[in-house]
Amino acid sequence: MHKERIIDMHVHSDNSPDGIHSPMFICEQAVDKGLRAIAFTDHCEIDTYHSQKYDCMAFHSYFECSKARVAFEGQLLVLIGLEIGQPNSDYELTKKIVNSRPYDVILGSIHTPKGFNCDIKEIEYDKIDVYDFMKNYFAELTEMAYCPEIDILAHITCPMRRIQGKYGIAFDYEKIQKETDELLKAIIKNDKVLEINTSGLRQPIGKTMPDENIIRRYKELGGKHISIGSDSHSAYDTGAGIREGMLLAKRCGFDRLTFLVDREIMEIENNI
């Protein structure tokens, strides 16, 4: 393994409500761990953009991360982006935010699914039909794949952290094969990137999001672009699981990995 090849494309700083460390400290830790590049992708929830002060946080994130980029030049490639939550709640606002700064990369996520007034973490999955829920969740993500402002579809099976991880519900992916294929085909057709999110490896579910079956299916259908992100909210987790994610990508036939600079897709050899 060449340590300089490790790139973490999903990192939160203290400019996210749930992030705890400053961009400078995260960069210092990333250099110590031998990472080559990180992408800061602080939260920006579109449906609560003003009421929950994401407008201020996104502003601070951009400037604090820019300072870190300059300070660590030559040691660490610092990419600056956002994790846009619920872009489908206001596409015009999404466009305005994404085009307001020269971002490198934009992740798209659904944290608050349509019809729910809470985060996917708070849903009581033992009281709903999880198959209907996931079909609707994938339909929302499929729509997101057509949004020009989104580059990477983040943690597409995120509810599984609770469905399988917390509630211990056995989930048969074959029952949502049609919706899964529609989502993966939309990602491919629109030249978007599928994220392997490694945060599940640090949680009870013990698996990446999505897990291997979906990554293999993406490859079978002709998918080309895979990025890997730790979704760290602490400097100590930055880079966590990236190596495992690279091995998984390799097993599924991805010899190249994707990152973005100036919102342009770049590729690097997956030489794990």
Q: Give the residues lining the site for Zn ion (CB under 5 A).
A: 83, 109, 231
Tokens of 165: 């991880």
CB of 181 to Zn ion, least distance (A): 23
Between 14 and 231, name the residue whose CB sits nearer to Zn ion: 231
Largest CA distance in the chain: 52
Coil/strand/helix, residue 201? helix
Between 180 and 198, name the residue whose CB sits nearer to Zn ion: 198
> Quick one: which of 3, 6, 18 has its CA closest to 231?
18
259: β partners: 266
**Cα distance between residue 109 and residue 112, in whole Å:** 9
- Main-chain phi, psi angles of 137, to 5 degrees: -65, -45
Between 64 and 231, name the residue whose CB sits nearer to Zn ion: 231
Between 60 and 250, name the residue whose CB sits nearer to Zn ion: 60
Tokens of 262: 């100036």
Between 8 and 28, name the residue whose CB sits nearer to Zn ion: 8
CB of 253 to Zn ion, least distance (A): 26
CB of 109 to Zn ion, least distance (A): 4
**Cα distance between residue 206 and residue 44, in whole Å:** 27
CB of 232 to Zn ion, least distance (A): 9
**What is the DSSP pairing of strand 264-269 with strand 256-261?**
antiparallel
* Number of other CB atoms surrounding residue 255 within 10 Å: 10
CB of 93 to Zn ion, least distance (A): 18
